[in-house]
Amino acid sequence: MKKSVVILDLGTVYLTESQQAWLARMGEAVIYDRTSSEEMLDRLHGVEIALTTKCPFDAALLDQLPDLKYIGVLGTGYDMIDVAAAREGGITVASVPTYCTAATAQHVFALLLAMTNHVGSLSTGVRQGRWCEADDFSYWDKPLEELEGMSLGIVGFGRIGRKVAKLGDAFGMEVIVRSRSGEEFREGYVARPLNELLGMSDVVTLHCPLTSETHQLMNEERLALMKKGSRLINAGRGKLVDEAALAEALRSGHLRSAAVDVLSSEPPSPDNPLLNASNCIVTPHVAWATTASIGRLLDAVLDNLESYLKGEPKNEVLDFEKEEG
């Protein structure tokens, strides 16, 4: 029997009962927790609609799937899909650009506060008895810092970057936005070229898309341009950063600390240089994954699919290089 809808890798999210019932009405829906690259051709044979989080669709695979007409991405990024080849083959690709804006911005500040307030390490110290053994009523072993008055450099001023800027405002930070076109101000914020922003910012946070131009945007040269003692946050794409260069910038003390939610390869190899880098917080790509975000994500994926089936596709991906960060 022809399979009309296949979800290739639903293992990181879940469908509510109402979402499962809706999907069941679309035809024979086959759901896999995970699908390897070697399994994709067999699982997609005769399939018209594929939904995926991270499974790769290159031109060679797409050429072998003449029945495939629609790829729905369970997320915002779609760098794992050869969009040009899909378009040439008459395949619609749709993503969900807005579901995790609030969650990601919140995680950025969770990372920043972890670097400045050290709540996790202080709590661990208390459990180890260090407060009980202290001579005074209070103890801390690292400087505790205020965000108010710090400069926050935002590289990538799409939906998430704008939300981060608003949170920076709430903390009393001076927000600086990367400007490509040379404008002096954008939405009331100071705007500077990237190299100037790096030299002015106490904290730099990355929210730009991963393209051929931004691959390893933060390399050895640009990390050296950052203010000495500043911090880097990456909750965008892992390959925006040269991880070996960042580890060295931390080891040398040029950067005070860094925090990343994404790495160049996920799950990472045990020898990834950031896993054991000094003063580096690494979280396992969870900025998107609040319960509310997952609910919005799946509702939007099904809404995209329903619109496609009505002949009115929405959130269609047209050009990866123009993905908004």
Which residues are catalytic, by number? Answer: 237, 266, 285
State the Cα–Cα distance between residues 93 and 77, nearest whole angstrom.
11
Q: Identify the CA nearest to 12 among candidates 45, 53, 43.
A: 53
Q: Which two tokens stand for residue 133?
A: 């053994």
| Cβ atoms < 10 Å from Cβ of 295 | 15
Kindly give, in sequence order, each residue whose CB lies less than 8 Å from that of residue 211, ignoring residues fewer than 6 positions away. 320, 321, 323
Whether the CB-CB separation of 274 and 280 falls below 8 Å is answered with yes
Cβ atoms of 301 and 98 within 8 Å: the answer is: no
Check if the beta carbon of residue 193 is closer than 8 Å to that of residue 245: no
Amino acid at residue number 173: M
From residue 1, alpha-carbon distances to 28, 37, 40 in Å are 9, 23, 18
Helix H or strand E segment including 296? helix 291-309
